Amino acid sequence: MNESGERLVTVRSHARPEETGPALRELARIAAARGVTLLLDDEEARKHKLDGSEPGIRLEEPLRRDVDLCVALGGDGTILRCLRDYAGSPVAVFGVNFGEVGFLSTVEPAGMHEGFELALAGNLELLHLPAIEVRAPGASWPALNDVALHRKVGGRVAELAYAVAGEEVSSVRCDGLVIATPAGSTGYNLANGGPVLAWGVKGMVVSFIAPHSLSARALVISPSDLLTVHNRSREPLDLTVDGRPVAELAVDEAIQARFVDGVATLAQMVGSSFYLRLRQKFGRLAR
């Protein structure tokens, strides 16, 4: 509850309102009954064709950091966007899966009614997620999922040397590498054959994209150790953070990556288990 005594919840959704519209209406109905106001920005209002007459909804609201909760209706990309919006604040993000995998979500659409009731009652468990602080020459970014360096389309094979705590570990010819948090280890890192890090593990994992070596292996790095990656390629490389292009790493330049704990907060249903979620999400895709 904020200083005015209002109970406020931000809502964000993905780009397909025909899928998320019924969920938004159900959430608004429950919110109105509980005296909670949903805050939607201009983009959400246009997307869902809202005119401001809907009970329990306030439109044209900029991002506020004094809300009680953020509800994300979408896939992992939508949930990540919300987690970035509220990084560094106590606001938790509650995700309903309208994506493909939805590993960060805690409720499927079939269970959204119960989920909304519990969420607006404050009956949730909170998981504090770490991030990777990545620094390149002249800039830095927080990554809640992963950081990727990769060769440009049609470019030469990359050569990347990496060091941990000041000690060079290896130099690998590859298409690129991924540095992932535990939450991000089930994404790009897993596709590269890297290990899954359970939520709650402190550390980050480095895995290689199409390595030209039989000895290149993924490495889990201690949370206290600084990782440095040098571009020893003949060409610049693209740097992405949580799937978004952010910079170009020139030849002979380097990035540094450091584990930072407790950056964002994910809301979960009480009793939610990482290992059950792992089986349900990836076991389902394997069938």
The catalytically annotated residue of 41, 51, 76, 242 is 76
Closest CA to 123 of 68, 199, 58: 68
Q: Is 262 helix (H, G, I), strand (E, B) or coil?
A: strand
Q: Are strands 204-209 and 176-180 parallel, antiparallel or unpaired?
A: antiparallel
Known active-site residue 261: no
What's the rounded Cα separation, in Å, for the pair 107 and 95? Answer: 7
Tokens 């607006």 map to which residue? 120
Place of tokens 């790009």: 188
- At a CB cut-off of 8 Å and minimum separation 6, what does 153 contact? none
Q: What H or E segment, with its residue span, contains residue 77?
A: helix 76-85
Burial (Cβ within 10 Å: 0-12, 13-18, ≥19) of residue 220: middle
Rounded Cα distance between 46 and 123, Å, is 31
Any idea which residues carry the catalytic annotation? 76
